[in-house]
Amino acid sequence: MAVHRKSPAAKKPPAPAAQPQEETTDLETSMQQWDTGLFDNYEKKILDLKNLVRISGLINTEMNMSEMTQSLLYSCQGMMLVRSVTLFILKSIVSNVYAYGASVGFANESFSEEFTDEDPLVVALLEQKKTLWIRESVNAEIIQPSLLRLAALEPELIIPMLYKDKLSGFLVVGQKLTGDTFTSSEVDFMANMANLAAIAIENLRLFEMATRDRMTNLYVHHYFQNRLEEEIARALRYHNHRLALLMFDIDHFKSVNDTWGHQAGDVVIKEIASIVRENLRKLDLPARYGGEEFAVILPESDATNALLIAERIRTAVQNHVFEIGGGKQLTVTISAGASDLGIAVAAAEGAEPAQSSRESQMREILIGQADTALYCSKHSGRNRSTVFVPGMTH
């Protein structure tokens, strides 16, 4: 006969001790404050990221170094509410000298100091790869001579601009407008912005290397061709045909090379390129077309304006004395030819339909007309400027 045993009654766990009402309320308040602080912190990080994306887009859309640096400095000043920001940047892609680039917050925005890659400040930035807090810098004694040279900028922070462990430049940041000390998150934000700017600077340098002639710093032939077609498209779109092209070359340039040597010829080409830039507007686009031949795209101009500019450049070259070394001097002249889009469009009306786009057709016609006018200047005695007229030939 089976025996059924009664299970022992389960013991109930002791009831938790009642918490005082005040302790529970304090705990809930602390948790709420912690949640609020955490939320605010994440919200600020998200806002900072959004601002960095916006600034990155702003500085990376600029294809001009001057405009890009101004966008960077004003963004930094506006976001951080600082009195001043100054940029020092490598002079060129092959240089080891950091020169004044631009600044905001000063009445006289100019600064002549330069720093080589052996300067203690530059060495410290490269070694530490982080922002230098001037008041707390462990390198204060080592970099003191450099800081004295920056004293006029009243620096609070010096922020390296790093790209692939290479120092592209550095930002000298002044005091906050409120007089408060920078927070670590503010410094991190500016460091991230500086590194984004370093990428933009490197991209701009690569763009300039691809589009600029190294000897003259004028635009190269293929970039000139592309930009001319773009300007033609713009002028055709607005139906005003206000676009002119100027072409010129150096008279008897072969004899300069044969008589004085190719280095003397290089001096002549470089200095003529400088004269060209000095006599153009900001929107004009000068290019080295090839050898000793140059071209200038003149937006919002016609052949009459182009002739005035050609004569201004021709006269300046004629009056210029070229120092070619060893106490030797020489003078040269140029011949120029010009045309405009209105003349090119009129010439195309009677021509057979082109296989290429209308812009490409106009580009070929416009270059051909300016080149024909140039050779008419050559055949008429050189050292003169000529505007293309219908019926003109080589």
Q: Which domain holds residue 160?
A: 35-210
Give the mean pLDDT of 37-61.
53
- For 346, the 3-state DSSP assignment is helix
Question: Is 30 contained in some domain?
Answer: no
Q: Above 50 in pLDDT, residue 338?
A: yes
Q: Both 96 and 235 in a single domain? A: no
Q: Is residue 126 within 8 Å of 101, Cβ to Cβ?
A: no
Q: What is the spatial distance between Cα 297 and Cα 286, in angstroms, rounded to a whole number?
A: 6
Specify the pLDDT at position 241: 83
- For 91, the 3-state DSSP assignment is coil
From start to end of the chain, where are the E strands? Answer: 85-90, 97-104, 114-116, 132-133, 157-163, 166-173, 243-250, 285-290, 293-299, 322-323, 329-330, 334-340, 385-387
Q: Is residue 173 within 8 Å of 159, Cβ to Cβ?
A: yes
- For 75, the 3-state DSSP assignment is helix
Give the mean pLDDT of 148-156.
90
Specify the pLDDT at position 43: 54
Q: Both 186 and 319 in a single domain? A: no
Specify the pLDDT at position 3: 43
Question: Is 345 contained in some domain?
Answer: yes
- For 212, the 3-state DSSP assignment is strand
Confidence label for 192 from pLDDT (cuts 50, 70 and 90)? confident
Specify the pLDDT at position 294: 97
Q: Both 310 and 168 in a single domain? A: no
Strands 329-330 vs 334-340: parallel, antiparallel or unpaired = unpaired
Q: What is the spatial distance between Cα 232 and Cα 19, in angstroms, rounded to a whole number?
A: 83
Tell me the pLDDT of the chain averaged across its residues. Answer: 84
Question: Is 27 contained in some domain?
Answer: no
Q: Both 65 and 187 in a single domain? A: yes
Specify the pLDDT at position 80: 83
Specify the pLDDT at position 198: 87
- For 183, the 3-state DSSP assignment is coil
Confidence label for 259 from pLDDT (cuts 50, 70 and 90)? very high
358-379 and 341-348 helices, crossing angle to 10°: 110
Q: What is the spatial distance between Cα 299 and Cα 233, in angstroms, rounded to a whole number?
A: 12
- Percent of the chain having pLDDT more than 90? 48
Question: Is 6 contained in some domain?
Answer: no
- Domain holding 283: CATH number? 3.30.70.270
Q: Which residue has the higher pLDDT, 30 or 306?
A: 306
Using the 3D structure, point to which of 175, 210, 245 is the last residue of a domain.
210
Q: Which residues contact 48 (CB under 8 A, 6 or more apart)?
A: 185, 189
Q: Both 44 and 187 in a single domain? A: yes
Cβ atoms within 10 A of the Cβ of 301, count?
24
Specify the pLDDT at position 38: 47
Q: Which residues contact 340 (CB under 8 A, 6 or more apart)?
A: 241, 242, 243, 244, 245, 301, 302, 303, 306, 366
Specify the pLDDT at position 4: 46
Question: Is 73 contained in some domain?
Answer: yes
Q: Which residue has the higher pLDDT, 188 or 337?
A: 337
At 207-229, the pLDDT tens digits run 888 899 989 999 999 999 999 99
| Total domains, the chain | 2
Task: Using the structure block, give the residue that is written with the tokens 């607005």.
Answer: 238
Task: Using the structure block, give the residue that is written with the tokens 């905001």.
Answer: 104
Q: Both 179 and 299 in a single domain? A: no
Give the mean pLDDT of 354-378.
91
Using the 3D structure, point to which of 182, 210, 238 is the last residue of a domain.
210
Nearest to 366 by CA among 220, 179, 229, 190: 229
Specify the pLDDT at position 6: 47
